[in-house]
Structure 1
Amino acid sequence: MDALIIFIKNPELGKVKTRLAATIGDQNALKVYHFLSNHAKEVAIELNADRFLFYSSFIDNSDIWDKDYFIKKLQDPSPDLGQKMFAAFSQLKDQGYQKVMIMGSDCYDINVDILIEGFAQLDSHEVVLGPAFDGGYYAIGFNFNLLAEKDLLTDVFLNKTWSHDQVANEAKSTIAKHGFSLHQLPTLSDVDVEADIENFRKKIF
């Protein structure tokens, strides 16, 4: 069984895209967040997999994420992103999912073909990684049937520092240390600062 994980923040003014809001304001940053969330939703719906949406604060059954397409859950309450991802992957692994991938909800360049490639490559690779130009990653996935070691998730996600330009490289090094095969997806742009929205600004404002 295949599963796709998406993390989102409940869209509250002043609490999403804060780096972007520093230059375009809270209201406009919230507009960008809604635009990107809708894009992520449309991409995910095209994928033939079980789709799990993990909310940051509370489950919203009246938002754009139709519960007919998305299984809604809460993120682990830890403030640490790595712990949140570790908990989500572990939960789906324990539910019997073989191939599980997480995608970011703030990458306008992502499309369903990239996700399909990721799941297809997990047939022959233990891990897939979608690096971002800022040094992070917009997607990471695992084939739990191929993973012989149970501590890879621990080493990839726990006791890590996030939001710096070596996040993807650190993940690659950890995977290599365990001797697992990694397939790298295309490098894409996340949206963090105003320069990141230039290609689609006119679609929002």
Structure 2
Amino acid sequence: MNTKNSNCLIIFTRNPELGKGKRRLAATVGDPAAFEIYKFLLAHTREITKDLNGTKQVWYSEEVQKNDDWDTAIYDKYAQEGEDLGLRMKIAFLEAFKTHDHVIIIGSDMYDMNQADLENAFEQLKSHDAVIGPAEDGGYYLLGFTKKLVAGVFENKEWGTERVLEKTLNDLKNVNCAVLEERNDVDYYEDIKDIPVFQQFLKHI
């Protein structure tokens, strides 16, 4: 399954648990609705990644779940390690680079993304050192590299703040980096309140 000169997609996900994760969203919609929305987003992530060419790795926030909806015939499973998000991503990238040349990481809360977007991102890595997908909130929804990490990209960041993208782009200024279209991830009620597919989760508001 793992062959050199191939693509690897890292998917960072939280172990779905009521009352954990999507805290900013839960502040408005409540824990049960936030839990259902996150499970819906996980299902969307599986739908847009399952047929993608290359290796797919799911990295769980707490522990590997063996008998869940992530099919082990499609996805390799790992547990995240590290004290902050930057170190967790760095460790995942270094593991993937042992056997792959083109490595991309995404989260699991991107309804505003499809398989073609991921294929395009890997295509960009054929002619670029890095690729990044800016998020509307000042972070990024996708980050990828060819053959090696760019130094500093996962260090000295205040994760979850609106300056992560700006600081990361500064780290990438000396390499050939492709910048994708800006997209919106799901963190707040405002991110989903006008999207029809989410109305099923918001009837109680």
Partner of 1:65: 70
Q: Does 1:172 align with 2:162?
A: no
SS of the residue corresponding to residue 157 of structure 1 reads coil
Please report how far the alpha carbon of residue 46 of structure 1 lies from its aligned counterpart in structure 2 after TM superposition: 2.2
Please report how far the alpha carbon of residue 155 of structure 1 lies from its aligned counterpart in structure 2 after TM superposition: 0.2
Q: Does 1:196 align with 2:200?
A: no
SS of the residue corresponding to residue 114 of structure 1 reads helix
Please report how far the alpha carbon of residue 203 of structure 1 lies from its aligned counterpart in structure 2 after TM superposition: 4.7
In 2, the alpha carbon distance for the partners of 1:71 and 1:3 equals 10
Please report how far the alpha carbon of residue 102 of structure 1 lies from its aligned counterpart in structure 2 after TM superposition: 0.4
Q: Does 1:10 align with 2:3?
A: no
Partner of 2:3: none
8 Å CA contact 2:57, 2:78 repeated in 1: yes
Count how many residue pairs are aligned between Structure 1 and Structure 2. Answer: 195
Residue from 80, 83, 86 that aligns with 2:87: 83
Which runs of at least 4 in structure 1 moved beyond 3 Å after TM superposition? none
Structure with greater helix percent:
1
Partner of 1:55: 60
User: What per-residue deviation string (whole Å, max 9, x for no partner) do you get for residues 87-141 of structure 1?
Assistant: 0001111x22100000121010110111011000101100000010001000000
User: What per-residue deviation string (whole Å, max 9, x for no partner) do you get for residues 24-49 of structure 1?
Assistant: 11000000100001001110112101
User: What per-residue deviation string (whole Å, max 9, x for no partner) do you get for residues 168-196 of structure 1?
Assistant: 111111110xx211111111101111011
Q: Does 1:41 align with 2:36?
A: no
Residue from 127, 132, 136 that aligns with 2:135: 132
SS of the residue corresponding to residue 71 of structure 2 reads coil
8 Å CA contact 1:35, 1:204 repeated in 2: no
In 1, the alpha carbon distance for the partners of 2:99 and 2:137 equals 33
Identity %: 39
Give 2:189's aligned amino acid.
E
Please report how far the alpha carbon of residue 79 of structure 1 lies from its aligned counterpart in structure 2 after TM superposition: 3.1
8 Å CA contact 2:157, 2:167 repeated in 1: no
SS of the residue corresponding to residue 155 of structure 1 reads coil
User: What per-residue deviation string (whole Å, max 9, x for no partner) do you get for residues 50-72 of structure 1?
Assistant: 00000111111111111111000
SS of the residue corresponding to residue 106 of structure 1 reads coil
- How does the TM-score come out when normalised to structure 1? 0.91
Give 2:182's aligned amino acid.
T
In 2, the alpha carbon distance for the partners of 1:40 and 1:168 equals 22
Partner of 1:104: 107
Partner of 2:118: 115
Structure 1: segments with no counterpart, 5+ residues: none
8 Å CA contact 1:6, 1:103 repeated in 2: yes
In 2, the alpha carbon distance for the partners of 1:190 and 1:2 equals 24
Cα root mean square deviation, aligned? 1.2
Give 1:100's aligned amino acid.
V
